[in-house]
Amino acid sequence: MIRIGFIGTGAISRRHFTALQQLREQAEVVAVCDVVEAAAARAAAPFGARVYLSAYEMLQRERLDALYICLPPDAHVDQELMAAARGIHLFVEKPLPLDLAKAETIARAVQAAGIVTAVGYHWRYFSHTQVLRAALTGERVGLVLGYFLSSLPAKAWWRLKARSGGQVVEQAIHLFDLARYLLGEVEEVWAAYARRGYPDEPGFDHEDVYTVTMRFASGALASYAVSCLLHRRYLVGLDLLCQHRVYRLRESGLEIEEPAGVRSIPLENDPALAENAAFLHAIRTGDRSGILSDYADALKTQRVVMAANRAAETHQPVRVGL
């Protein structure tokens, strides 16, 4: 039985708690840590797990096989390093730390420790993402259009750019990661950000409309529109334009438009269950092939979105160092 601890019990952790309840024959949650004791207690109760307010204390007292880190990007201090030093396998929620030097240090530490790592890019695990990836074999993608057009999240930390990195980094990063997964590496990024709404919104200090253009090593181009200006979740997904086909990927499924007509392929799995099952399988068997994004790979996505922020700040294209 794999013994699991959690650091952070916010909204994203609930997806993993639900999945792990379905995988309880393989793993048990034995310890939960959060700076808000009531939140930790609520999360721990269904598992009978012990509650901690200090990650340091939890890691010292518990004999963990695996650790889930579900924290805002600015709250990554040295939790990953402490886990790596103890040989504890890591599941880290996106995004990685905003400080790329810190993320690089973590990447080196987990590699040296030889532990299993996974990062929560669950769009990769959609059943129809796998269909699309297979369909793109031999396909020549010309242009990718990405959309993350939604409303302003209520979380206080999300609204501060120094804490969240902004919408491109904290939210739309799923689509930047997905493009890498489907098309390969990004070489260069251009970006422009602006603030067009929320003139009197308290505690909100960053932009609400973003455009990002990317050039891939393959020669393909991508243009992303990102916004939290809207009153509701409006459009989230990717369109991939090829000479004879257009692929439209959304959370709910995939559409493939061809001259003969349109095929619809619905979502047929639970991506949260899939990513958690792959992580546990890797720990149990040593077979990491089911993990679709480990820490080293996620670091490449982090470099892309941080390059976008830098391009917007400098009004210059930024080459992505991979």
What are the structural domains of the chain? 2-122+272-293 (3.40.50.720), 123-267+302-319 (3.30.360.10)
Structure tokens, 36: 């808000």
From 157, 137, 128, select the one nearest 237 (Cα to Cα).
128
Question: What is the rounded average pLDDT for all residues in the chain?
Answer: 98
pLDDT at 23 over 80: yes
What is the C-alpha end-to-end distance of the chain, expressed in Å? 37
Structure tokens, 91: 């599941």
The pLDDT tens digits for 86-143 are 999 999 999 999 999 999 999 999 999 999 999 999 999 999 999 999 999 989 999 9
Q: Residue 223: what pLDDT?
A: 99
Angle between helix 100-113 and helix 295-314 axes, rounded to 10 deg: 170
Phi, psi of 16 (to 5 degrees): -75, -40
The pLDDT tens digits for 218-260 are 999 999 999 999 999 999 999 999 999 999 999 999 999 999 9
User: How large is the average pLDDT for residues 50-56?
Assistant: 98
In angstroms, rounded to a whole number, what is the distance separating the alpha carbons of residues 169 and 188?
Answer: 16
pLDDT at 292 over 80: yes
CB 281 within 8 A of CB 110: no
Rg (C-alpha) for the chain, rounded Å, is 20
Query: Parallel, antiparallel, or unpaired: how do β-strands 235-242 and 221-227 relate?
Result: unpaired
| pTM of the predicted structure, to 2 decimals | 0.96
pLDDT band at 24 (very low <50, low <70, confident <90, very high): very high
Phi, psi of 267 (to 5 degrees): -65, 130
The pLDDT tens digits for 143-201 are 999 999 999 999 999 999 999 999 999 999 999 999 999 999 999 999 999 999 998 89
User: How large is the average pLDDT for residues 294-314?
Assistant: 99
Q: Where are the alpha helices (DSSP H) in 125-239?
A: 127-135, 161-164, 167-170, 173-183
In angstroms, rounded to a whole number, what is the distance separating the alpha carbons of residues 272 and 15?
Answer: 6
Q: Residue 321: what pLDDT?
A: 80
pLDDT at 322 over 90: no
In angstroms, rounded to a whole number, what is the distance separating the alpha carbons of residues 181 and 179?
Answer: 5
